[in-house]
Amino acid sequence: MPKLPAEFADLEKFSDWCLPTEAERYAKRLDSTMAQMQELYDATMPRLEDACAFGDKFPLDDLPEDVRSLIHLMQSLVMVSFPVEVWKQPRVPDSGAAWAELYVEPVV
C-alpha cells in the first residue's frame, strides 16, 4: 500500500522515513548510515519545492494521510540535511551527552 501521493511515487522507497515525530526522525537518523542518509537527501532535495507546493493545496487541519506522509518525509530531509551537508556523520559533533527534548510537536 503506497504511503505517498502518486505524484511522488518515485520517493516511495523512502517511506520508512515518513515518521510523525521529531524524536522518531532523530532516532532514525542515528540508526542510519551516511550512505542511507545521502541517498534520501539526493532523492528528496530536488523534490522539496514540489512537495511544498503540493502540500499547500490542502488545509493544514485536514490533510489527507498520503500528504501528511509526504510532509513527514520532507521533515526527515531536514533532519538529515546537516549531517549530509556539514557534519558528515549522523551525530552532532562535539555535543557529548547533551540532549534536547521536544515537548510539543509542530502541527502536522
pLDDT tens by residue, 11-32: 999 999 999 999 999 999 999 9
Which is higher by pLDDT, 108 or 44? 44
Quote the pTM value: 0.85
DSSP string, 32-81: S-HHHHHHHHHHHGGGHHHHHHHHTTS-GGG--HHHHHHHHHHHHHHHHH
Show the cell assigned to 86. 556539514
Q: What contacts 82, CB < 8 A, 6 or more positions away?
A: 92
pLDDT at 20: 95
Cα–Cα distance, 37 to 83 (Å, whole number): 8
